């Protein structure tokens, strides 16, 4: 399974501190820096989608002070679950 950015995500502003504001549907959500980096990485993959297992390894080097609680696959899975609940991403089946 891979995750893809939801078509409901219409605009994303990433500030200099790494945090983001995202328009999803008719709501604007504020995202902390780690969430913003992960979502941006998903967005960069386009319709190809992103493998959750690879996401953290990809995002971590770009963060100044990555939090320990998101170091593992479980942390990323929780983050993706929250993204799905907020309508930011969706799962895409792979062969």
Query: Based on CB atoms, which residue is closest to other proteins, 12 or 42?
Result: 12
Contact 86, 78 (CB under 8 A): no
Q: Kindly report each contact of residues 57-63 with a partner whose C-beta sits within 8 Å and lies 24 or more positions away, as own/partner.
A: 59/34, 62/37, 63/18, 63/33, 63/34, 63/37
Q: How far is the CB of 53 from other proteins (least distance, A)?
A: 28
- Residue 66 burial class via C-beta count within 10 angstroms: exposed 0-12, middle 13-18, buried 19 and up: middle
Q: How far is the CB of 94 from other proteins (least distance, A)?
A: 31
Contact 88, 6 (CB under 8 A): yes
Query: Based on CB atoms, which residue is closest to other proteins, 30 or 92?
Result: 30
Query: Based on CB atoms, which residue is closest to other proteins, 31 or 40?
Result: 31
Site residues (vs other proteins, CB under 8 A): 10-13, 15-17, 19-23, 26-31
Query: Based on CB atoms, which residue is closest to other proteins, 6 or 19?
Result: 19
Q: How far is the CB of 11 from other proteins (least distance, A)?
A: 4
């Amino acid at each position: 399974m891979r995750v893809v950015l939801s078509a409901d995500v219409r605009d994303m502003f990433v500030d200099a501190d790494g945090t983001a504001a995202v328009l999803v549907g008719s709501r604007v959500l504020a995202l902390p820096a780690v969430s913003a980096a992960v979502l941006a990485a998903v967005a960069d993959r386009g319709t190809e989608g992103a493998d959750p297992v690879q996401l953290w390894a990809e995002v971590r080097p770009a963060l100044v002070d990555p939090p320990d609680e998101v170091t593992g696959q479980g942390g990323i899975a929780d983050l993706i679950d929250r993204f799905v609940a907020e309508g930011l991403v969706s799962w895409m089946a792979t062969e």
